[in-house]
Structure 1
Amino acid sequence: MSKTRNLFQGMEKLCRNLIPNKYALLLVSAFGFNQLSLANPDLLIDLQGEITQGSLMVGKTQPGNSVHLDDRALKVSRHGLFTFGFSRDDEHNYQLKITSGNEELVKSLQPSKREYNIQRVNGIAKKIMNPDPKDIERARQDSKQIGQVRNQEADNIDFAHGFIAPSKGRVTGVYGSQRVYNGKPGNPHYGIDYAGKTGTLVQAPAAGVVTLWVPDMFYSGGTLVIDHGHGVTSTFLHLSGSLVKEGDNVLQGQNVAKIGSTGRSTGPHLDWRVNWFKVRLDPALVLKLPNMQTFK
């Protein structure tokens, strides 16, 4: 048994030397955790993505296998594709379990901690710190509407084919940054901001289905949501207009909207956000994901 264990450890060390440490490819490293993966090749998986806060993970296993993240069953496509994500401040040690028949592979995944840009702003007027209750209620209804479309679990697998930036503009805001107003922490920023003139075209970062278009939400103004499948969605804020409607199928790179300064915006720009259901992800990390079609 010790010789077998040493073999597994040697293969894992070789894998780590060949593959950048910031990416998880469990094709070999899984051996050292559960030797059933060697006895049953159906348990072998590819898992792409940075194991850190805000990251989207995309995996591929044999079709028909079941996949759980802790006790949560993950949707597995007929191609064996699945996905999940880590939130901004997630420090939980997850157990990813792949099951094939009576055999299973379990791998621990704990997202690494990140440092975010925190700014402190004092002297903010009380009127701004205490908005009108009517505005708060309207914003709450907007948030509920967005939450409903983000809670869907569509069958399409566009999330697994890679992402491109929706704008060529200069990045002016990043994920995770936060301001503390008069000592009170504001909500973190959960997207990437791209500078651009009003009317500048916005491209679909990945294919999908348009599930929401509202031109006048209170905070986010013109708001568009594209569903990329399995709970992964893109949301675009402060738009001046949409070139698509709800129910439309869109292709990666297709022009879908126009940059604007609607809602509570200080100037024209695009705020692009990515979610896995309620989990808010870092679009910059999503852009690093490869096209899983290249992994056989």
Structure 2
Amino acid sequence: MARGLSRRAVVAALPLTAVAFSPPGAARAAAPGLSLSGKFVQGGYAIGHTAPRAVIDVDGPARTTASANGWFVIGFDRDAPPTSTLTVTTPDGSAEDRRTIAPGDFDIQRIDGLPPEQVTPTDPALLARLEAEGLRKQAGFASQADLEGFREGFVPPVLGARRSARFGGQRILNGEPKRPHYGVDLAVPVGTPVRAPASGLICFAETGLHYEGGLVLIDHGQGLVTAYLHLSKILVSPGTYVRQGQLMAESGKEGRATGPHVCWRMKWRGRNLDPSLLVGEGPFRA
């Protein structure tokens, strides 16, 4: 769109939810096109298309950059506020999208019979170990690969599973309230194949972790990272690329687990998302 168009013409060229703006007195610049779709709910997501390498701001500090093809992904935390504002900026202009975020429907889950050190660790050596493990996991979750695996849509990581816990439930462990459960628990026998639900980069893969047992993290692009906990065997290495459906691990009951299952989690830039909301969605096209 050429420079010098009226504000009315610029706004008319955008989706109904988008608003073009520029500083008072400044020359009117062409706002980037913006399309957005997803699940606008606590724990949900949105996948958008705009100008290549546009800067994306979400509610202030959560910033990402669109791919070379103009694709981007954002997430809404389990405790997201009731509204969210997304701003797309290019050298030629900006566009804004404001959305209402629906409240989530979260359970209360009670788990008893766990060893005390799995609930509230006190041993100094264990605390030091947990700190070291936490730093390594934090580095994995900080991955921001320049990929578009999220565009494929997602398939379940295991087949024939019974969902034994939903995302976001408040957990009470041995009678002690803890932070919400940020995963979807998929109950399957030990040794069940675990496959990549969408293509991406392996950004963490370790066994023997105190809480998670075997843990694999996949960055599906721009910091949309999925996690797979309690694995008995890991068949991939950090830095390798996996395609949707590729075998990467076997399920187990390692770490803090009362039975065999895979805990499936998803994060975007520190926000906790419900991975099951992406199953069956996509592929996303402009």
Say whether the 8 Å CA contact 2:30–2:92 is kept in structure 1: no
Say whether the 8 Å CA contact 1:30–1:44 is kept in structure 2: no
Deviation at 1:265, TM superposition (A): 1.4
- The change in CA–CA distance for 1:65 and 1:120 in structure 2 (over 3 A counts) is closer
Q: CA RMSD in A?
A: 3.0
- Matched residue, 1:221: 213
* Cα distance in 2 between the residues matched to 1:270 and 1:123: 19
Deviation at 1:71, TM superposition (A): 3.4
Residue identity matched to 1:147: Q
- The change in CA–CA distance for 1:57 and 1:288 in structure 2 (over 3 A counts) is farther
- Mapped pair 1:275 → 2:262: no
- Mapped pair 1:140 → 2:131: yes
Q: Which ranges in structure 2 are unaligned for 5 or more consecutive residues?
A: 1-6, 23-27
SS of equivalent to 2:78: coil
Deviation at 1:181, TM superposition (A): 4.9
Residue identity matched to 1:221: G
CA displacement, residues 230-279 of structure 1 (integer Å, 9 cap, x when unaligned): 00111111101012122221110011100111112111111111111311
1:234 to 226, 240, 255: 226
- Matched residue, 1:19: none
2:201 to 209, 216, 231: 209
* Cα distance in 1 between the residues matched to 2:203 and 2:54: 29
Deviation at 1:150, TM superposition (A): 0.9
Q: What TM-score do you get using the length of structure 2 for normalisation?
A: 0.83
Residue identity matched to 1:258: E
SS of equivalent to 1:212: strand
Aligned 1:171-182 pairs, distance under 5 A: 171-181=163-173
SS of equivalent to 2:17: helix
- Matched residue, 2:143: 152
Say whether the 8 Å CA contact 1:274–1:281 is kept in structure 2: yes
* Cα distance in 1 between the residues matched to 2:117 and 2:235: 36
- Matched residue, 1:23: none
Aligned length: 270
Aligned 1:59-138 pairs, distance under 5 A: 59-72=48-61, 73-91=63-81, 93-119=83-109, 130-133=120-123, 134-138=125-129
SS of equivalent to 1:28: coil
CA displacement, residues 155-209 of structure 1 (integer Å, 9 cap, x when unaligned): 1111222111101112111101123357642121111111111111001011111
Say whether the 8 Å CA contact 2:34–2:95 is kept in structure 1: no
- Matched residue, 1:164: 155
2:191 to 199, 224, 244: 199
- The change in CA–CA distance for 1:185 and 1:110 in structure 2 (over 3 A counts) is farther
Identical pairs, percent: 31
Residue identity matched to 1:238: H
CA displacement, residues 56-84 of structure 1 (integer Å, 9 cap, x when unaligned): 22111122433222334321110001111
Higher helix share: 1
Residue identity matched to 2:158: S
Q: Which ranges in structure 1 are unaligned for 5 or more consecutive residues?
A: 12-25
- Matched residue, 1:21: none
Deviation at 1:149, TM superposition (A): 1.1
- The change in CA–CA distance for 1:164 and 1:124 in structure 2 (over 3 A counts) is closer
- The change in CA–CA distance for 1:222 and 1:29 in structure 2 (over 3 A counts) is same
